[in-house]
Amino acid sequence: MVSYRDLVTGLRQLRLNPQRPVIAHASLSAFGDVRGGPDTLLGAILMNVDSLVMPTHTYSTMLIPESGPEHNALQYGSGRDYNGNAEFYKYDMPADRLMGIVSETLRRRPGARRSMHPILSLAGVNAASILDAQTLEEPFAPFSVLEEMDGSVLLLGVDHTKNTAIHYAERLAGRKSFTRWALTRAGVRECPGFPGCSDGFWQVKQYLDPLSQQIAMGDAVVSTIRLQPMLELLVNVLRKDPLALLCDNPDCERCEAVRRSVNAPAETDIAIA
Ligand SMILES: [Zn+2]
């Protein structure tokens, strides 16, 4: 059984600077049995960090329209059955289960706020400037503020396939992104800048391990990396090899669309013009 004290003491070894913001991704179950559950893990993080954000994405708001931009890794018109299950985005709707119970616990914490995006929101405490940076057009803009503030990524029992900051590195490197649509009370909202697939992000480990601080806590591995050097390194990796970090599933539509955009850039330019 992992206790609050174990978690606070473990996290202290990472020597996070409490003045610097942190974006965390967590899997509670990776720790084994935690006494007190998600509140205990979240409380332990907040003993070490003042300003914390976590993703609270809501994929259940997404719709597939009848038509849209080309090369968008989407079968238009295929959502006629699926769209009926889409939910209206609400500020207080729970985070998708994929985000993990710790994110949802942060969202519900007294004093926590959530950013504006109907699919790619973040929740946070003491993080107004980070959350307010998000727009429909630039869903990953909070990472630019986190970077300016010399923030860090904290991975608690999850690997880099959950590390959302890598999508911001893709954005900085000019990698193709996608358009998706969300159901809101104000109508269907077009959401550009939707990221590609993250299944291949485990490949960053070779580059990021030397920049990471890592400890074992309970059954989980917890690591932290400063955003500034991480982004600089990954943007270089992606500029040198525009096919880096893609997954190898031949049926993955988004990775395939990125490959096509790299192999036939002229065609993509014409489509945009
Ligand atoms: Zn993929």
- Concatenated DSSP letters for the chain? -B-HHHHHHHHHTT---TTS-EEEEE-GGGG--BTTTHHHHHHHHHHH-SSEEEE---GGGEE--S---SS-S--TTTTTTGGGG---B-TTPPPPGGG-HHHHHHHTSTT-EE-S-SSS-EEEES-HHHHHT--SS-TTTHHHHHHHTT-EEEEES--GGG-THHHHHHHHTT---EEEEEEETTEEEEEEEE----TTGGGGHHHHGGG-EEEEETTEEEEEEEHHHHHHHHHHHHHH-TTTT----TT-HHHHHHHHHHH-HHHHHHHH-
d(CA 194, ligand 1 centre) in Å: 14
d(CA 61, ligand 1 centre) in Å: 22
d(CA 210, ligand 1 centre) in Å: 25
Q: What is the mean pLDDT of the chain?
A: 95
d(CA 212, ligand 1 centre) in Å: 25
Task: Name the band, by pLDDT with cuts 50, 70 and 90, for residue 272.
Answer: low
d(CA 251, ligand 1 centre) in Å: 8
d(CA 213, ligand 1 centre) in Å: 28
d(CA 53, ligand 1 centre) in Å: 26
d(CA 170, ligand 1 centre) in Å: 14
Share of the chain above pLDDT 90, in %: 94
pLDDT digits (tens, 9 = 90+) for 30-88: 999 999 999 999 999 999 999 999 999 999 999 999 999 999 999 999 988 889 899 99
Mean pLDDT computed over 190-216? 97
d(CA 112, ligand 1 centre) in Å: 33
Q: What is the pTM of this model?
A: 0.94
